[in-house]
Chain A
């Protein structure tokens, strides 16, 4: 009994981590070794793939543009969602519940539907192939999500706190920044994390709306695979580096995520 108590979770975790281990394993091998046969750990340990990625501008620019549109998107999403979520949580207005649900339906549409209109529109106004194009396109999914998550956290704060602050003499902006935002700090953290993650892993719009200058890392990976044959070691290293930013962000918000799930909004 005691054996199964830790055996089952251990097997499960091993099962989940196996592909990630294999990716890391591959990233330290040469392409010949990867294609040569099965080896559970690198025989000729090499960091050449990482060196290549960190020194070749074609590779590292992919990371820079990915990170820049993800950050722009996260900042826009959170700063627009904060007042919107506050309105949904504190005021009753005509059609508020329908509007709130409509926001969520935006997440149900496949991104492919929006790829063509965005492509045409951004080309026409000169936003095509800039980080702003991708960042704005991702707002379509992330602002509704951010409003939805933040509203849950804000509704957990009693309205009387707002009123007490007004009675104390706080103006609305001052109250919002000094009293209210610290109260939902964990909610803002969780929201930023989800915006970051969705924007980071989204590929279709990011690929469609960029060509050379703002090419995201995922697009760089697929192109390298097709032009220079099978550079599997290099691809594996790029994959590992793609996981790292997400892992770092998860580390920071790990304690708050559970709260977000508990609110049923994530």
Chain B
């Protein structure tokens, strides 16, 4: 079990990590999700022991390991860049942690062959990493992390520099490869879809803080606050500021929409509504869908779907609509808002779940 207790990291007056407390159970897959500079790498370096926290402590299996040098910890790490030892062969690269640990030759050979087999590196063992493709280089780094059989495996955006197909392939394999070891598996990514595909637990990071930690699907469906919802939305979450008066929300575009029954207990105040791009459509999906007039700014067509960027009351919205829609920029269109899955946040950014209660 890995525990971070109120960990902070300040570098030359700038807080990279502030007051993070997390607990990861053995044998679990944990995703650190957040945009660039959210502190994912900083947090991983603290977990690994490459950096020392300015404040707080790191506990491993009930022992305080805050000051323990990285060499003495049971950690493996894979970086976004393909980091291998260029002067050694792939075989020696994979064998390196075992050689340092003084493992006997036969065991090294068995483990290296096994890891190479799993990661499809067997034909390349005698070559050097720089003679391999990017995907194979990263597989080498993964194999090295694997043979070490560390209790904590840190993967810092390991697939970000790979092309689409390789990424899909490795992402499917990765959890399986490491699942057998019973290690704590920490995976940093900037992509919400990657977090969802990996499953497990997710910690959403923003500006050095963990905004929410829990089962991945729960974070996606029921974010605790606006920042988490925005971190977990790709394309970005659409938002609009509203004023609740009795049974209606007054939108700042001059529109009025009904407060859903599940939220009727809310106090009259200023709120922010959030909804996903696929909750906007040209045709109403339900009878009580709200119709809104907005101006088209850009249309992106991905093949079978169109992303229509809309300008509504000074806010940039994105609508995801099936089929190909060619719209002129500046054109005014009528779109319908499906309010069933609408997220409501109070002025402090906290989500209101039902009957005015704040989300846990």
Contact = CB atoms under 8 A, between A and B. Distances in A.
A160 B44 CA distance: 13
Contact of B85 (A161, A163, A167, A169): A161
A179 B144 CA distance: 15
Interface string B47-79: 010100000000000000000011100011101
26 contacts: A158-B83, A160-B79, A160-B81, A160-B83, A161-B83, A161-B85, A163-B50, A164-B83, A165-B85, A166-B71, A167-B70, A167-B71, A167-B77, A167-B97, A168-B96, A168-B97, A168-B144, A169-B71, A169-B100, A169-B101, A170-B100, A174-B100, A179-B85, A183-B85, A183-B87, A185-B87
Contacts of B101: 169
Given A167-B76, A168-B100, A183-B86, A158 B81 contact: yes
For the residues of B in contact with A, the DSSP-based class is mixed
Interface of B: 48, 50, 69-71, 75-77, 79, 81, 83, 85-87, 96-97, 100-101, 141, 144, 148
A158 B81 CA distance: 9
Contacts of A83: none
A171 interface: yes
A182 interface: yes
B144 to A, nearest CB: 7
Nearest to A174: B100
A48 B144 CA distance: 64
Contacts of B86: 183
Nearest to B70: A166
A167 B75 contact: yes
Nearest to A179: B85
Given A169-B97, A170-B71, A182-B87, A164 B148 contact: no
A128 to B, nearest CB: 44
Contacts, number: 50
B10 to A, nearest CB: 15
Contacts of B77: 163-164, 167
Contacts of B96: 165, 168
B87 A179 contact: yes
A132 to B, nearest CB: 34
Contacts of B100: 168-170, 174
Contacts of B71: 166-167, 169-171
B48 to A, nearest CB: 6
Contacts of B76: 167
A182 B130 CA distance: 14
Interface string A167-200: 1111100100001001101000000000000000
Contacts of A170: 71, 100
A189 to B, nearest CB: 14
Interface in A133-163: 158, 160-161, 163
B95 to A, nearest CB: 10
Nearest to A185: B87
Which of A174, A179, A185 is packed against the most chain B CB atoms within 10 Å?
Answer: A179
Contacts of B148: 168
Contacts of A183: 85-87
Nearest to B154: A167
A95 to B, nearest CB: 15
A174 B100 CA distance: 9
Nearest to A166: B70
Nearest to B100: A169
Contacts of B79: 160, 164
Given A166-B70, A167-B75, A179-B85, 16 more contacts: A158-B83, A161-B85, A163-B50, A163-B77, A164-B83, A164-B85, A165-B85, A166-B69, A167-B70, A167-B71, A167-B97, A168-B96, A168-B97, A168-B144, A169-B101, A179-B87
Contacts of A168: 96-97, 100, 144, 148
